[in-house]
């Protein structure tokens, strides 16, 4: 009989040292405290015949959505494949199959493989973590909530990773707009373990969605000792602090956050850089000159046109940085490359293929219209894509920049009725904040106490 991990999930290694190192790596992957790679190297050194540490390396690298890391991830998968055999746990062979699908760009298929694993092994934390991440990248809010819900009753509250699973569930609840339940679940997770940034993050999302910008700033400040240093989630949580200050129209405060926490060496991977680009774009829409900061971001980022079209969400944020820097010709070239890849027959099996064609490209082309001074063209091009923007991936808070851009376009052109409709939707979702009031004034809308 195969040995098992701490959760009774079959393991392919008889080495306790290797299994302990994998457990530490798994905690790092779910909590974002440090990188898991050294732990996985330790596991591999203790049991070189075990495929799982190599699979975890590959999955971690792929989860960063960093095109330059894909060849290294593919190499780890090949080395893992060489170590799998008929006697290996079926669970580990399934992880290889799922990661192969990720590598091919067939993310939904990977999710279905992980789903089968979770039905059989509801305490397979690795399957849950990866499925949750790629559900997020695909904008599958239903699965963000239901995957953790299907497994949570099977988990022991004393498990070291139980708080992380509660955090995943809290975020899924928030993205399904079950705000009270999400906040309660996030707070429960942190009462059990204060080192669960995903739960801190979920509650911050609730407060953002409800317009509670003062509460949100206080919430992140309260938990800051646990996330601000040594945690991979830090840049994103600083981004959330920036959103709260932006909602209050504290532009100087947002600029300080950008300069101190979302610039330079803090931005190590694309996931960090898209946050910086998004916050800079929001300031640009408010009339703040961010061109020098966008140029500095682009110099550090150096987006490679050869990588354009891998993931529409990231591609869109490259466009935001380029346009914020005033680089319209470079933006045109980037969008053209994204279109070329989205239309290529050999990429037709990729989930990003249809997402880019129907959502990403219209949004990017609308942004180009805006940069060329065609506000009405921007609104007309972006609005149909906005109605299905969830498919782009990311969170409601991240995709809100689409609405903000449409409000800006409506205020610049003749699509005032569209702007009014967006404001109505916003005012029904949360109290009127200084940011909402700004757009009301720009559109000549009166604040209605009934909203």
How high is the pLDDT of residue 179?
A: 98
User: Which of 451, 450, 449 shows the shortest CA–CA distance to 425?
Assistant: 451
Q: Which residues contact 299 (CB under 8 A, 6 or more apart)?
A: none
Q: What is the pTM of this model?
A: 0.95
Burial class (CB in 10 A: 0-12, 13-18, 19+), 113: buried
Q: List average pLDDT for each run of 10 residues in the chain, which is 451 residues long.
A: 87 96 97 96 97 98 94 97 92 97 95 97 97 96 97 96 97 98 97 94 98 97 94 96 98 97 93 97 97 97 91 96 97 95 71 90 98 97 95 96 98 96 96 96 76 40
- Which tokens in the block code for residue 382? 């972006």
Q: Are 387 and 358 contacting, i.e. CB atoms less than 8 angstroms apart?
A: no
According to the model, what pLDDT value does residue 37 have? 97
In the chain, the largest separation of any two C-alpha atoms, in whole Å, equals 72
Q: Give the whole-angstrom CA distance, residue 438 versus residue 417.
A: 17
User: Could you state, in order of their start, the residue ranges of all structural domains in the chain?
Assistant: 249-451
Tell me what pLDDT residue 347 has. 55
For tokens 């947002």, what's the residue? Answer: 254
pLDDT (0 to 100) of residue 14: 94
What does the pLDDT read at residue 167?
97
Helix axes 107-120, 125-138, angle to 10 degrees: 150
Of residues 271, 192, 285, 212, the one with CA closest to residue 238: 271
């Amino acid at each position: 009989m195969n040995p098992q991990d701490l959760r009774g999930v079959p393991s392919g290694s008889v080495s306790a040292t290797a299994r302990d190192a994998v457990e530490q790596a798994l905690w790092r992957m779910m909590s974002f405290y440090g990188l898991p790679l050294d732990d996985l190297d330790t596991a591999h050194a203790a049991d070189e015949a075990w495929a799982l540490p190599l699979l975890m390396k590959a999955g971690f690298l792929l989860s960063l959505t960093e095109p330059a890391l894909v060849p290294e991830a593919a190499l780890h998968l090949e080395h893992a494949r060489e170590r799998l055999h008929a006697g290996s746990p079926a669970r580990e062979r399934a992880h290889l199959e799922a990661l192969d699908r990720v590598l091919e760009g067939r993310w939904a298929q990977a999710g279905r493989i992980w789903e089968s694993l979770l039905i059989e092994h509801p305490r397979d934390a690795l399957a849950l973590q990866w499925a949750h991440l790629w559900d997020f990248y695909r904008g599958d809010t239903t699965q963000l909530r239901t995957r953790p819900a299907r497994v949570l009753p099977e988990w022991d509250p004393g498990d070291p990773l139980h708080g992380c699973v509660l955090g995943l569930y809290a975020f899924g609840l928030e993205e399904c707009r079950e705000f009270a339940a999400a906040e309660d679940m996030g707070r429960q997770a942190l009462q059990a373990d204060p080192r669960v940034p995903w739960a801190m993050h979920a509650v911050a999302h609730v407060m953002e969605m409800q317009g509670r910008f003062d509460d949100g700033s206080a919430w992140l400040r309260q938990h800051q000792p646990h996330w601000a240093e040594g945690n991979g989630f830090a840049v994103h949580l600083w981004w959330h602090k920036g959103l709260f200050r932006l909602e209050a129209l504290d532009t100087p405060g947002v600029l300080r956050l950008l300069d101190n926490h979302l610039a330079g060496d803090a931005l190590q991977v694309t996931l960090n850089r898209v946050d910086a680009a998004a916050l800079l774009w929001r300031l640009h829409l408010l009339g703040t000159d961010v061109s020098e900061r966008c140029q500095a971001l682009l110099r550090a980022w150096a987006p490679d046109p050869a990588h354009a079209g891998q993931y529409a969400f990231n591609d869109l944020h490259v466009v935001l940085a380029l346009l914020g820097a005033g680089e319209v010709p470079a933006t045109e070239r980037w969008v053209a490359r994204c279109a070329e890849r989205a239309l290529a027959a050999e990429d037709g099996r990729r989930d990003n293929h249809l997402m880019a064609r129907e959502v990403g490209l219209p949004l990017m082309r609308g942004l180009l219209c805006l940069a060329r001074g065609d506000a009405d063209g921007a609104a007309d091009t972006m609005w149909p894509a906005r109605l299905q923007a969830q498919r782009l991936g990311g969170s409601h808070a991240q995709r809100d920049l689409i609405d903000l851009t449409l409000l800006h376009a409506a205020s610049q052109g003749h699509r005032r009725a569209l702007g009014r409709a967006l404001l109505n939707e916003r005012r029904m979702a949360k109290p009127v904040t200084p940011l909402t009031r700004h757009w009301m004034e720009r559109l000549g809308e009166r604040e209605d106490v009934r909203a």
